[in-house]
Amino acid sequence: MAQADIRAARPLSPHLSVFRPLMTMVMSIVHRITGCGLYFGTLILAWWLLAIAAGPDAFFYASWFFSSWIGVLFLFVYTWILLHHMLGGIRHLYWDTGAGFDRASRNALAWATLIGSISLTIIVWIVGILVR
């Protein structure tokens, strides 16, 4: 069989256009994105820690950034990223036990991850504002 015949006989792999987005698929993609967001956010928080060690001038600029509207927005989004990724990790840990693979459980866990991360982020920020 010629090389061209072999390629023509292979089935094409289904692509995103074939599947409708499922909640578990979306949460898998978001889990990967939040993992990447943790790298960037942790670098920004490390800058803050280094600014504390570097002295008052460096700390002034870091404090200015984190007290600006963009800094507060960054911290809010970073809080959600951290909590969402943590809950997604707990969901995967639960799956590692071999449980929760039926359709209803998968969807319930995906929704619980999303709703839980949003709720926990709001709770953390309310508590943080009240304590401050």
Confidence at 120, pLDDT banded by 50, 70, 90: very high
Residue 32 counted as domain residue: yes
pLDDT single digits (tens) 90-106: 999 999 999 999 999 99
Helices within the chain (DSSP H only) = 3-9, 23-54, 56-67, 69-96, 103-131
Residue 17 counted as domain residue: no
Residue 5 counted as domain residue: no
Q: Which domain holds residue 46?
A: 24-131
pLDDT single digits (tens) 7-53: 666 666 666 666 788 899 999 999 999 999 999 999 999 999 999 99
pTM across the whole model: 0.84
As to burial, measured by CB atoms within 10 angstroms (0-12 exposed, 13-18 middle, 19+ buried), residue 74 is: middle
Q: What is the dihedral of CA 25, 28, 30, 36, to 10 degrees?
A: -150
Closest CA to 90 of 120, 60, 125, 61: 120
CATH code (residue 99): 1.20.1300.10
Residue 123 counted as domain residue: yes
- For the beta carbon of residue 107, count every other beta carbon within 10 angstroms: 14
pLDDT single digits (tens) 42-92: 999 999 999 999 999 999 999 999 999 999 999 999 999 999 999 999 999
85 is in an annotated binding site: yes
Q: Give the total number of structural domains in the chain.
A: 1
